[in-house]
């Protein structure tokens, strides 16, 4: 199993800072288990973009298998993240 380097964009970090400590732990735990989580779905219209569900929160990320990098692009609540 290859080990991916995980990077978080500023918008993802900004969302995390506004959340409770418990929510931050849940989200960071889910991110640390990428790309092996069971709630992953490929997003239509994108080549390397996926989403991970953690309760009502969605984590949008790009996965690059050739360089073993995962870039967390956006984190947000289900109603807001797809706008």
| CB of 50 closer than 8 Å to CB of 40 | yes
pLDDT, tens only, 8-28: 999 999 999 999 999 999 999
pLDDT beyond 90 at 80: no
Whole-prediction pTM: 0.91
pLDDT, tens only, 15-70: 999 999 999 999 999 999 988 888 899 999 999 999 999 999 999 999 999 999 99
> Which one-letter DSSP state was computed for residue 2?
P
Structure tokens at 41: 């779905």
- Domains, the chain, ordered by start: 5-78 (3.30.2310.20)
Residue 76 to residues 16, 67, 73, Cα–Cα distance (Å)? 9, 26, 10
């Amino acid at each position: 199993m290859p080990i991916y380097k995980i990077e978080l964009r500023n918008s993802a970090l900004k969302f995390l800072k506004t959340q409770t400590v418990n929510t931050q732990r849940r989200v960071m735990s889910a991110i640390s288990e990428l790309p092996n989580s069971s709630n992953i779905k490929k997003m239509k219209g994108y080549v390397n973009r996926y989403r991970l569900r953690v309760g009502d929160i969605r984590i949008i990320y790009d996965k690059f298998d050739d360089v073993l990098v995962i870039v967390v692009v956006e984190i947000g609540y289900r109603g807001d993240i797809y706008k």
